[in-house]
Structure 1
Amino acid sequence: MPFFEARMGLLLDVDGPIASPVTRTVPQPIIDYLLRLAGAGWPVVFNTGRSDAFIREQLLNPMMASGIPDGVRFHAICEKGASWFSFDADGAGEVHVDKELALPSSFGDDVRDLVEEKYSALMFFDETKRAMVSVEQSLDVSSADYLAGQAEFDADAFDILVSYDMGGIRLGRERPDSNGEVGYRIDPTIISTDIESVRLGKDLGAERALALLAPYGEVPNTWRTVGDSRTDYAMADYLHGKGYDVAHVDVRPSDGVPEKPYPILIEEGLVNEEAGAAFLAGCVAVLAK
């Protein structure tokens, strides 16, 4: 499979490949590459655990400031498939939320209280999530300090989850609910912890992406998915299972590269948003040929 083709669909995780995990912002060159590619007719969909508010601030607003071409539409799948919206030169459309996948608001209140009482020196409660409950490393805290406290927070959050009798997963260990099914999980990343329905995931995001593109006749056969964690491979897994020609770009391969039935692409010597920028620059170079 060639690395680049004349027109491909891009399904992009945000934290890591696009937004720096250090600054939580998107470098301007990446904004410019995405606008060029979308303007050339490449479908661009963001598939992220982030909220719609984060996408507005870090992607929509900088893109509008730079100028979204007329007729270009971006799609954003947020909270791992729990919410989604589209945006163009006129701004954001309606945000849709799958309420069946949302945690009780009282559970979020209890986690917020936990953070304020015990972990405020390390992390903050994400007030922008509509369905999942998330905390995030404070910008002035080192990664080592945050990760050292994260495991204890995850254990405390799991105890709250148990008190709601909703079931859960913590670090690979499951607690079935009264029906013998697991309903929720605690999913730690290098800068955050998400507490979410087990139905959420990057595969659900990929499914929603195709549904968003279909009414506009924009679904190409060839795709590149881009991510920084092992869970991001679910995007390519889903597309491959549906018969699409797909390759996955891993911008943090040091976490371990699994064996897959599709190509895995790596930007040697680069990680996170630098690797994402290099990949996108290569895509833009195709437009000049």
Structure 2
Amino acid sequence: MSAPIPALGLMLDVDGPIASPETRTIAIPRIVTDLVLLAGAGIPIAFITGRSEQFIREQVVEPLVAAQLPAASRVYGVCEKGGVWFPITAEGVGHVSVDEKVSLPRETVDAVRVLVERDFGDTMFFDETKHVMISVEQRTDVGSEAYKRAQVRFDDAAFELLASHGLGVRHGEREHPDARGETPFRLDTTIISTDIESVALDKDHAAERALAFFAESGPLPQLWRSVGDSRGDYLMADHLHEAGYDAAHVDVRPSDGVLERPYPVIEIEGKIHDEAGAEFLSYWVKKLGLR
């Protein structure tokens, strides 16, 4: 007998809808409970994030395992926007794959680390857990306004540093091509970090990787929901829609401006960030009769 087709598939950003952008942890316990219930019902769940494998292991996977993630779960992690990927099982993180082709040069990584420690250590820190990208993140003891002011200065300094290393880089409307006339790297500014990454990394490619993984373990649902707090998170639903699935995107920070898309964009009334994420998960747990 063939396996039943799941009622739903989920692609979830982590910072914002799952982990609090303030504590950088899963601060609402029922998020873990509901994820375990959904996974136990056969729902494929992909965590698609710019975060590192270590962050997801410690802040997401360990709580899921402690809450008795079922052995038959179809759960997957795609980190660093597609540069790192791994299965998630009842035992924890499985084999970790890394796409070394999209890494920044080691000397550039080291130079950005020095820049942060020398000039910006009072507001931000260098994330040592990344494999293929650079992330410089707001310190949790620093207020948002102070960080934003420093972030503008850091972004300018980092752009100039990459250009001085001969790398092609872009940030918003600003571009500096390399010797071949190409710009293979970019600065991506978020509310709590600046990522320096290959332009080959993005959440549509990460969604494609997650679908391929799930296709190996059983039938795929027709109905998919992606959830995120930034404009780049829409790319998950973009890929799902273009691949022919019944897709919608849940924007848990619509104050940034809801994008026009050919599929539904859902807002959780009166709630943002992980409170909206928790509400969304609870809705599906109840709708599927799991609680």
TM normalised by structure 1 equals: 0.96
Residues 102, 210 of structure 1: CA spacing in aligned structure 2 closer, same or farther, 3 A cutoff? same
Q: Secondary structure at the match of 1:77?
A: strand
Q: 1:78, 1:84 within 8 Å by CA — same for their partners in 2?
A: yes
Percent of matched pairs sharing the same residue: 54
Alignment of 1:51-200 (within 5 A): 51-200=52-201
Structure 2: runs of 5+ lacking an equivalent: 1-5
- Alignment check: 8 A CA contact 1:155 1:170 kept: no
In structure 2, the residue matched to 1:18 is 18
Tell me, in whole angstroms, the C-alpha distance in 2 between the residues paired with 1:114 and 1:225: 36
Aligned length: 285
Partner of residue 3, structure 1:
none
Give the structure 1 partner of residue 242 of structure 2. 241
Measure, in 2, the Cα distance between the counterparts of 1:160 and 1:215. Answer: 43
- What's the RMSD between the two structures over aligned residues? 1.3
Q: Given residue 8 of structure 2, which amino acid in structure 1 is its aligned partner? A: M
Aligned partner of residue 57 in structure 1, secondary structure: helix
Task: State the partner residue of 2:3.
Answer: none
Q: 2: CA distance between counterparts of 1:70 and 1:33?
A: 16
CA shift digits 1:32-78 (9 cap, x unpaired): 11100010011000000000000001111111111111211310000
Equivalent AA in structure 1 for residue 14 of structure 2: V
Task: Report the counterpart of residue 206 of structure 2 in structure 1.
Answer: 205
Partner SS, residue 109 of structure 1: helix
Q: CA deviation at 1:175?
A: 1.9
CA contact 2:42–2:74 (8 Å) conserved in 1: no
Whether the 8 Å contact between 1:30 and 1:277 is mirrored in structure 2 is: yes
CA offsets per residue over residues 83-119 of structure 1, 9 Å max, x none? 0011111221111011111111211111110111010
CA distance in 2, matches of 1:157, 1:217: 44
**Deviations 1:226-260, CA, capped at 9 Å, x for gaps:** 01011111111111111111000000000001111
| Structure 2 counterpart of 1:230 | 231
> 3-state DSSP class of the match of 1:161?
helix
Detail structure 1 runs of 4+ shifted over 4 Å in the superposition.
none
Name 1:275's counterpart in structure 2.
276
Q: 2:260 and 2:74 mapped to 1: Cα distance? A: 34
> What secondary structure, in the 3-state scheme, does the structure 2 residue paired with 1:246 have?
strand
Shift of 1:218: 4.0
- CA distance, structure 1, for counterparts of residue 195 and residue 89 of structure 2: 29
1:43 touches 1:218 (CA, 8 Å); kept in 2?
A: no
The separation in 1 between residues aligned to 2:36 and 2:142, in whole angstroms, is 33
Cα deviations by residue, 1:245-277 (Å, 9 ceiling, x for unpaired): 100000000000111100000001110000000
Q: Larger deviation: 34-43 or 83-92?
A: 83-92
- Give SS of 2:148's match: helix
Kept in 1, the 8 Å contact 2:30–2:278? The answer is: yes
Q: CA deviation at 1:201?
A: 0.6
Q: Which residue of 1 aligns with 2:44?
A: 43
Q: Distance in 1 between matches of 2:106 and 2:270?
A: 43
Query: Shift of the alpha carbon at 1:148?
Result: 0.8
Q: Does structure 1 conserve the Cα–Cα contact (< 8 Å) formed by 2:188 and 2:196? A: yes
Q: Which moved more, 1:208-217 or 1:125-134?
A: 208-217
1:9 aligns with 2:9: yes
Q: Distance in 1 between matches of 2:231 and 2:278?
A: 20
Conserved? CA contact 2:80–2:133, under 8 Å: yes
Other structure's SS at 1:238 match: helix
Secondary structure of 2:188's counterpart equals strand
Alpha-carbon distance, 1:288 to partner:
1.4
Larger deviation, residues 113-122 vs 70-79: 70-79
Per the TM alignment, residue 199 of structure 1 is displaced from its structure 2 partner at its CA by 0.8
SS in structure 1 of the partner of residue 135 of structure 2:
strand
Contact 1:31 1:63 in 2 (8 A): yes
Flag structure 1 segments of 5+ consecutive residues without an equivalent. Answer: 1-5
